[in-house]
Amino acid sequence: MIVKDKTSDLYALRHSAAHVMAQAVKRKFPQAKLAIGPPVEDGFYYDIDLPQPLTDADLGGIEAEMRKIIKENYTFEHSTMTKAEATKFFQERGEKFKLELIGGIADDHVSIYTDGDFIDLCEGPHVKSTGAIPAMKLLSIAGAYWRGDEHNPQLQRIYGTAFFSQEELDAFLKKIEEAKARDHRKLGKELGLYAFIEEAGPGMVFYPPAGAMLRHQIEQFVREEHLKRGYQLVMGPPILRADIWKRSGHLDYYKEYMYLIESEGQQYAVKPMNCPGHILIYGLQTRSYRELPLRFFELGNVCRNEKGGVLHGLLRVRGFTQDDAHIFLREEQLVDEIDRVVTFTREMLGAFGFAEFAVEISTRPAKFIGTPADWDRAESALKTALERQRMTYQIHAGEGAFYGPKIDIKIKDALGREWQCSTIQCDFALPERFALTYAGEDGKEHRPIMLHRAILGSLERFVGTLIEHYAGALPLWLSPVQAVVVPITSEQAGYAREVLQRLAAAGLRVEIDESDNTLNKRIRAAELRKVPYIVVAGRREVEAQSVAVRKRVVGDQGAVPLEQFVERAVQEVRDKR
């Protein structure tokens, strides 16, 4: 995310570090052509067209050159050029990307910054001099299309970060290492939770048994909690005629992300959203005001034609499942229902171990359907509900969906990172487009309002978030395998099977390891799988009808009567621990 607050000292520091990095690259690779180099949330980057591909091994040399420039302590000097002067200057240097940027500037003059032998097109701000960059580090290299368009040249993006002290930088680098250890792409593969199969196509997720069991636990819990709160289960087909998507507005506003197919002279679209299906179900019968709020819920599978370059593990895929609900209601019910959804959201996320949130309200975009008056009423309802909840929020102007404003709730994980999760969208427009009605108390037809909401959001993304939050060590209630029974020798195998059966009868997901490996190797194998409990059965355990319990992270807990362990484990599952 590009940082927009240009008034902050950290912005100026990181912007300056980006310039120093570009300067160092130009010194080492004079043929390099510079694109843009903004500060971002955790650092900065610069997109560069280079005559040769860089690797991480090149970062050390660029960083060393940066340190020389910092030591030389060049002053950042601001000046301006006319567009004609700037065009001539950068044309002589073959800086084609700068020329394109200059062409898009409306003013007659452009802003230039100079430090030592380096001159760049830039609005600023910067720190006083290169020597005012006390702590910086280059992090990685990635590919990036110029201006994010896959039809444009692919550039090399060099990421780095900068802080005002070495202590802050060291803490950040430690956090990065922790994040790498928690990477769901690495842990998901090691733990057998999900897979991508190249021949099946990019962005399509497969769940082996362990991952399918995790999904089952999540889905079962989600369904039960919705039913408790008065939601009704519905299901819709995976494709609908294109006319439906035209009517909803998706074909006009979302077409590039949709998969379109032809059959028997008709055009269809694989659903990227569940809302039109729920709208059609609403319209199957005459509705009364007494039915409202009417809450439809579906674990709906959708497909979106995401660009290959943005696919990222489980966080950005092409096929995924949403815990999607659509609530049809009267306007006087609107604030109460949004408030109820926010409470539900906090309770659900809390059950998965998330207690800290960042909240945003996204308002009317430039392209929208409906009337400005309806948008104002919808935005007001969202704000009022959050204020009732005493939740602080930020306004993201112009970032709403094309059919309505929305609340986004981002969860904070164990490392303090934010993950997009829940969304609540208030929609006056689609009920109008589909001519939805209900019979009011006055016997007349009225138009309902519609709330679109997802609590976990994409289940794929949520699973990825869970893996990273818990570093793969999922809570007992979610773990695909909750306990592994390990007999010390073959003489205890019979008793170990009895333990297995007793645990399974109590509803626990349990396996037995009777392999020929040593006891230590079998225990280690279970630990690597991050199984919450390892239950060891030896001669003394057989005699005492007990088990020797090893708990993940905690370690050896000694011998415990079998029934006592069963009761403890079952209670932990009930308590969602």
Listing DSSP states for 404-469 in one string gives B-EEEEEEE-TTS-EEEEEEEEEESHHHHHTT--EE-TTSSEEPPEEEEEEEEEEHHHHHHHHHHH
148 versus 97: which is more confidently predicted? 97
How much is the pLDDT for 301? 95
How much is the pLDDT for 99? 94
How much is the pLDDT for 76? 95
270 versus 55: which is more confidently predicted? 270
Confirm whether 275 is a catalytic residue. yes
Cβ proximity of 261 and 270 under 8 Å: yes
Q: What is the C-alpha to C-alpha distance for residues 413 and 141, in angstroms, rounded to an integer?
A: 26
Catalytic residue among 182, 304, 316, 383: 304
Angle made by CA atoms 163, 168, 172, in degrees to the nearest 5: 95
Confirm whether 122 is a catalytic residue. no
What is the mean predicted confidence (pLDDT) over 377-402?
A: 93
Q: pLDDT, tens digit, for every residue of 132-172?
A: 999 999 999 988 889 888 788 899 999 999 999 999 999 99
Confirm whether 107 is a catalytic residue. no
Catalytic residue among 58, 324, 408, 427: 324
Catalytic residue among 15, 156, 318, 322: 322
SS3 61: helix
How much is the pLDDT for 369? 87
Confirm whether 453 is a catalytic residue. no
Chain centre to alpha carbon of residue 577: 24
Instruction: Output the DSSP codes for 503-545.
Output: HHHTT--EEE---SS-HHHHHHHHHHTT-SEEEEE-HHHHHHT
Pick the range with the lowest mean pLDDT from 279-288, 365-374, 463-472.
Answer: 365-374
Q: Using 50, 70 and 90 to split pLDDT, how confident is the model at 4? A: low
Q: What is the C-alpha to C-alpha distance for residues 52 and 32, in angstroms, rounded to an integer?
A: 9
What is the mean predicted confidence (pLDDT) over 558-568?
A: 95
Q: Above 70 in pLDDT, residue 6?
A: no
Tell me which H or E stretch contains 379: helix 372-388
The two beta strands, 232-233 and 294-303, are: parallel
How much is the pLDDT for 5? 61
Q: Above 50 in pLDDT, residue 93?
A: yes
Catalytic residue among 126, 278, 295, 326: 326
Query: Number of helices (H) and strands (E), helices first, in the chain?
Result: 18, 28
H-type alpha helices, 73-207: 83-92, 96-103, 166-182, 184-190
How much is the pLDDT for 310? 83
Tell me which H or E stretch contains 44: strand 43-49
Confirm whether 126 is a catalytic residue. no
471 versus 309: which is more confidently predicted? 471
Confirm whether 322 is a catalytic residue. yes
Q: Using 50, 70 and 90 to split pLDDT, how confident is the model at 189? A: very high
What is the mean predicted confidence (pLDDT) over 394-423?
A: 91
What is the mean predicted confidence (pLDDT) over 407-422?
A: 91
Q: What percent of the chain has pLDDT over 70?
A: 99
Q: What is the C-alpha to C-alpha distance for residues 357 and 303, in angstroms, rounded to an integer?
A: 28
Q: Identify the bridge partners of residue 406 per DSSP, sorted by sequence position.
A: 362, 425
Q: pLDDT, tens digit, for every residue of 114-126?
A: 999 999 999 889 9
Confirm whether 303 is a catalytic residue. no
Catalytic residue among 19, 452, 453, 461: 452
Q: pLDDT, tens digit, for every residue of 254-310?
A: 899 999 999 999 999 999 999 999 999 999 999 999 999 999 999 999 999 998 878
CB atoms within 10 A of CB 356: 11
Which residue type is seen at 405? P
How much is the pLDDT for 1? 47
* Structural domains in the chain plus CATH codes: 9-182 (3.30.980.10), 190-236+272-469 (3.30.930.10), 483-574 (3.40.50.800)
Q: Which residue has the tokens 């239950």?
A: 535
What is the mean predicted confidence (pLDDT) over 339-356?
A: 95
